[in-house]
Amino acid sequence: MNTNIRDRYLSIGEYNMISVDWSAGAVNPNYVAARNAVGPAGAAVASFIGQLVAAGASVDNMYVIGFSLGAHVAGNAGKGQNGHVNTVIALDPAGPLFSLGQPDAVSPADGRYVEMIMTNGGLLGSSTPMGQATFTPNGGRTQPGCGTDIAGGCAHGRAPAYYAESITSSVPFRATRCAGIQEVVEGNCTPSGADATMGGEPSNYGRGVSGVYFLTTNDAAPFARG
């Protein structure tokens, strides 16, 4: 569990934080096996959500948050609830062996609002927008302060770091809406529609936030520039 995200939420209010230990599937030297475990893991989470709803909880108040392979688990949990959970946050969803439209890949239909934060697209993370809104900090592929980062681990890990900061930061991660992902790749984002804030609490659900967004960050925490 990302304790930074948990602690940030608990520092600002009364939240029920539920962590999912799916290490039996995720921690596997065989990446193909780990990749194929996201569907069953997500289905188990969806079943648990169903039990909570049966006990009186409401999906209107639920976020499902996941990082890397866990982002696809979060998407599958949303699928299992027919896309009715309030928000799915997909933090740099794993890219290898995933593509938009695959039955077990996170998708825009997995929640009432689905936000993707892309930080290492094309290497460890997906380079394809998979959320209703996809935020691409610093272009979504490499991240400042990560040095050469040949394996991509630093940039990949920035997605949960940015999101955790956004929960409590008084400085927002303001982002410009671009015409599409290709403009971001080319480093030529033409403003197209209203700006939006990446992450944050509450989420962007109900605010009409959709499309691809570009923003820059600082190279060390605090990352947000406003």
Annotated catalytic residues are 68, 92, 156
What secondary structure does DSSP assign to 152-212, as a single string?
-HHHHHHHHHHHHHHHH-SS--EEEEES-HHHHHTT-----S--EE-S-SS-STTTT--EE
- Please name the helix (run of DSSP H) or strand (run of DSSP E) that holds residue 52, with its range, or none: helix 38-54
Task: Give phi and psi for 72, each to the nearest 5.
Answer: -75, -35
In angstroms, the CA 192 to CA 202 distance is: 24
Distance (Å, rounded) from C-alpha 81 to C-alpha 163?
24
Question: Which residues lie below 8 Å from residue 58, measured CB to CB, with a gap of 6+?
Answer: none
| Edge-to-edge strand list for the sheet holding 196-197 | 63-67, 87-91, 113-117, 133-137, 211-215, 174-178, 196-197
